[in-house]
Amino acid sequence: MAPHRIRRGAPPTGQSARSACGPILDPMRSGPQVLVFPTFDENPYLNLLGLAPRANGFRFLGSDTYRALIRQASRLGHGDVLHIHWTTPLLQQAPSEAAAVRRLRGLTALFSRLRRRRIRIVWTLHNRLPHELRHRTLEIRLYRALAAAADVIHVMSPATAEVVADVVALDPAKVRMLPHPSYEGIYDTGIDRAAARASFGLADDERAVLFFGQIRPYKGVTELISAAARAADTGGQPIRLLLAGAVKEQSREEFAASIPPGLGAIAHLDYVPDADLARWFRAADLAVFPYRSILNSGSVHLAATFTLPVVLPDEPHLRRQFGSRAWVRFFDVEDAVGSISDLLTAPLPAVDGADWDDFLRELSPWEVSRGYAAMLAELSDWQAPRGMLSADAAGTVR
C-alpha cells in the first residue's frame, strides 16, 4: 500500500509546498534577506516557517554561532531582517563569564547598528529563559536588550508576556501572536497502529507510554521513569515505556542505567530519523511531556498531528491554552511522580475526530508560514506577489 500523508491544510495534490504558497519570483526580482539565528538544517519548525517567505522571494541566510551572527549581519542592508530565535548559543555557550560579557556588549552594539541602517529585528520568544543557564544575569540583560531593539516580538502562546514578566517586560505594541504549526502533511503516516505496535513487540493489552524528544534534565524524564515504574507495580494494565531521543548533559550509558530493568522500557537513545517518527507515535496510547519548565512545546503539536493524547504539566498558562482540549490531561507539578503514575493507569480520554480537527484546523503549516510571510512583508515593506497571502493568513498576525 502506498504511504499515506495527512493532507488537511496541505497543498493540493500535484503541487509542492512551495508552489502552493504562491509563485516563485524571478531571481533578478528576489526580495529582502532574512538572517535567521540560530539555523539548524534539520529543525522542522524553522523549515516550515520559511516555506511561504521563500516562495515569496525572501532570501534566507543562516548562522549558528556568535561569530557567524556578527559576520553574517554585515551582509544585511536596508529592508532586510534579522530574526533571533533561541539565544542559548550567544551567551550561554561563551567559554567564560568575561567572554559572555564581551559578547553581550557586542550584541547590543550590533542591534544599534542594525537599527541605524533600518534593518528590522524580529525576536521569537521560545522560552522564559534558556533551560541550561550558566550566566543568568547576563541572559536577562540580553532578553531586555532584545525586547528594546526588536521591531516585532513573536510569541506562540497568548500568555507569553505574563509568563516572562519577571524576566523582561514586553511592549504590547511589538507583540505578534503567530501559533506554532502542526506537522500535518510533513511526516509519512503510512504505518498503521497494528503494524507499529507489532514492530515493538507490544501486546494488545499493554499501554504504551511515549516520551519523544531530546532527553535533558529540565524535561523530567527521570520522574516519568519513576512514575511508569510505580504504575507498573499497581497490578493493573501492563505499562510499557517508549523513550525516543538523544541524551544530553549526561552519558547515554548513565541514563540507560537509571531505567529499572523490570520496567520493560523500549529505548532508542539517539535521534529518530524522520522516516521512523510515525512508528513511535502510532504505537503509543499516550504521550507524556513531564517538563519542569515550559513555555512552548512543538511536541504537543507533533502528538496532535498523530491524534495521540498527551499529558502536560499543570501550569496556569498551559491550562488556559489547552485546558479545553479533550485529549490533554495535566499532572500536578508538586507531585509529578505520583500524579503522572495515576494518569498512566486512568482510563484514556475519549476523543473524537472533531476534537482533533478543531485544534489542527488553525495550525496548518502552510497558513502559519503565510502569516510569517505577511509579517516579514510588513516589516521590510516588500510587495508580495498577487494571490500569495490569503486574508486569513495575514489576519493571523495580530
Mean pLDDT for each 10-residue chunk of the chain (398 residues)?
Answer: 35 36 46 95 89 95 97 96 98 97 98 97 95 93 98 96 97 97 83 96 97 91 96 91 93 93 93 93 97 87 94 94 94 97 94 88 92 96 60 39
- C-alpha 66/C-alpha 68 separation (Å) is 5
CB of 147 within 8 A of CB of 153?
yes
Residues in the chain, overall count: 398
Q: How far is 273 from 276, CA to CA, in rounded Å?
A: 5
φ, ψ (nearest 5 deg) of residue 266? -110, 115
Query: Crossing angle for the helix pair 298-305 and 353-361, nearest 10 degrees?
Result: 130
- Nine-digit cell at 362? 488553525
Count other C-beta atoms under 10 Å from residue 144's C-beta: 14
| Nearest Cα residue to 18 out of 59, 54, 62, 60 | 54
Q: How far is CA 233 from CA 207, 227, 228, 393, in A?
A: 14, 10, 9, 50
Give the per-residue pLDDT at 26: 43
**pLDDT of the residue at 193:** 95
Tell me which CATH code domain 193-360 carries.
3.40.50.2000
User: Which residue blocks in 179-314 are alpha helix, DSSP H?
Assistant: 193-200, 221-232, 252-257, 274-283, 298-305
294 — phi, psi (to 5°)? -155, 140
Paired with 92 in beta bridges are: none
> Angle, to 10 degrees, between the axis of helix 336-345 and the axis of helix 221-232?
50
The number of CA neighbours under 13 Å toward the Cβ of 76 is 30
DSSP 98-167: HHHHHHHHHHHHHHHHHHHTT-EEEEE---SS-SS-S-HHHHHHHHHHHHHH-SEEEESSTTHHHHTTTT
Is there a shared CATH topology between the 17-181+364-396 domain and the 193-360 domain? yes
Distance spanning both ends of the chain, measured CA to CA: 43
Rounded Cα gap, residues 177 and 371, in angstroms: 10
Provide the pLDDT for residue 23.
39
Place of cell 505577511: 374
Report domain extents, the chain: 17-181+364-396, 193-360
What pLDDT does 392 receive?
40
Sort residue 5 into left (φ over 0), alpha (ψ -120 to 50) or beta. Answer: beta
- pLDDT, residue 326, reads 93
Q: Which residues of 339-373 are buried (b: 16+ CB within 10 A; e: fewer)?
A: bbbbbbbeeeeeeeeebbeebbeebbbbbbbbbbb
CATH fold for the domain made of 17-181+364-396 = Rossmann fold (3.40.50)
Select from 258, 234, 316, 34 the least CA-distant residue to 243: 258
pLDDT of amino acid 393: 40
